[in-house]
Amino acid sequence: MSEFTGFRTRWRRIALGLALGLGAGAVFSWAKTPIPWMIGPLVTIGLVKLLGGKPEVLPYGRQGGQWFIGSAVGIYFTPAVLVALLGYVGWIFLGAILTMVLAALGGLLLARMSGVDRTSCYFATVPGGAAEMSVLAMKYGGNVPAVAISQSLRVSTLVLVIPAVLTYTGFADLDRTAVDMLPPFNVEKFFVLIGITLASAVAFAKLRIQNAWMMGSLISSAVVAASGITLSRVPVEIIDVAQVMLGMALGSRFEREFFLRYKLFIPYALFNGFFLMVACAGVAIGIAWASGLPLGSVLLALAPGGIGEMAITAKGLELGVATVTAFQFVRITAANFSPPVVFPLMRKLGGRWLARSR
C-alpha cells in the first residue's frame, strides 16, 4: 500500500501536520532551543496526537528527511577524516559491542519487571531503529506493540534530553574543524550529490535493506567524499526541513488509543530507556577517557538513539559528526544484521535469556 493511499481524504490532516510541524520548528528556533527544527515538531505533534488530534505526516516525508540528512552527513567523511577515524576503529567496534551487551541486559531487566517475553524485550531495548526492530520482533514472534512503545519512547526521550544536556553543560560547538572543511554550496554540484544519493537510497529500498533511505544516502555520500571528489554541502534550510520531517515522524507515533491500551507497560519502558541511556553514558565516559576522543562526541556517539536523529543532533550541536555517525553506523548495522545469527545460536545453546517465555 502506497503512502499516498486515500490522499484525497487525508490532505487536510496532512496540511495540519505540516503547519504544526513547521510552526513549532519556527517557535522553538526563535526560543533558541537545541536542534529546534526536530524537537519542536516532535513535542507539538506528539502532544496533539496524545490529546486526540489527527495530524498526519507528509507521505514519504520521513524517507525524504532521512535522504537529505544522510546526504548532508556523508560529505563529512573526507579522506583526512577517514584517516583519523581509522585510528579509532577498535574503539568504535568496542562501543558497538558494549552497547549491544547493555541492551541485552536491559532486555532481561525489562522482561523481569514487566512480565513481557524476553524476545520482545530484547528487540524493545536494542537501539537499532523503531521500525526496524518492530519488523524483526514480528519475524521472531515478539510482541510488536511492546517493541514499538519502548523504541519510540526511548528515542523521543533521547532527542529531548541529550541535546539540552550537551548544550547546557558546554559540550556543544566544540568541534568546528570538520564543519569548516565542508565544501561551499554549489547548485550544480548539489544536484549531482542528491541525484547520486537518491539513486542509492532507492536501490537500498528495492533490496529491502533496513533503514534504506538513511543508509543508502549516507553510504553513497560518504563514498563520494572519501574518494576525494568535492561536491556541495546541503543548504541549512533543506536540513531544517528534513529535521521537521524526522520530528513529525517521531511525534506521530504517539497515538492516543495505542498508548492508552498499553499504558501499564509505559512506566517499565521509560525506566528501561533511562537505564540504557545512563549505562551507555557510563561506557562513553570510559571510552573517551581511554581513547582521547572528545567526551561530548562520544556521549552522542554511544547514545542509544537512531542514526538519523543522532547524526543531525551532532551536526546541529557542531560535535564530531563523522565520529558520531561512524559509531552509530557500526552499532545499528550490528543490531539489524546480528539476530539471524544470534537467535539460532542462543536457542541452540539453551540461552533462556533470548528464548521466548512460554
In DSSP notation, 205-225 reads HHTT-TTHHHHHHHHHHHHHH
What does the longest C-alpha to C-alpha distance in the chain come to?
59
What is residue 348's predicted lDDT score, i.e. its pLDDT?
Answer: 58
**What's the CA gap between 17 and 121, in Å, rounded?**
32
What lies within 8 Å, CB to CB, of 338 at 6+ separation is: 100
Q: Which residues, given as ranges, of the chain have pLDDT below 70?
A: 1-2, 4, 7, 131, 171-181, 340-358
- CA–centroid distance for 298 within its chain: 16
What is residue 252's predicted lDDT score, i.e. its pLDDT?
Answer: 86
What is residue 357's predicted lDDT score, i.e. its pLDDT?
Answer: 45
**What's the CA gap between 336 and 44, in Å, rounded?**
30
Q: Where does 31-173 have alpha helices with state H? A: 36-50, 61-74, 79-86, 89-114, 118-125, 130-139, 144-168
Residue 173 has a CB neighbour count (10 Å cut-off) of 13
What is residue 350's predicted lDDT score, i.e. its pLDDT?
Answer: 46
What is residue 24's predicted lDDT score, i.e. its pLDDT?
Answer: 93
Q: What is the pTM of this model?
A: 0.83
Q: What is the dihedral of CA 293, 306, 264, 277, to 10 degrees?
A: 0
Evaluate the CA torsion angle 192, 194, 196, 198 in order and state its sign: negative
Q: Phi then psi for 171, rounded to 5 degrees?
A: -85, -20
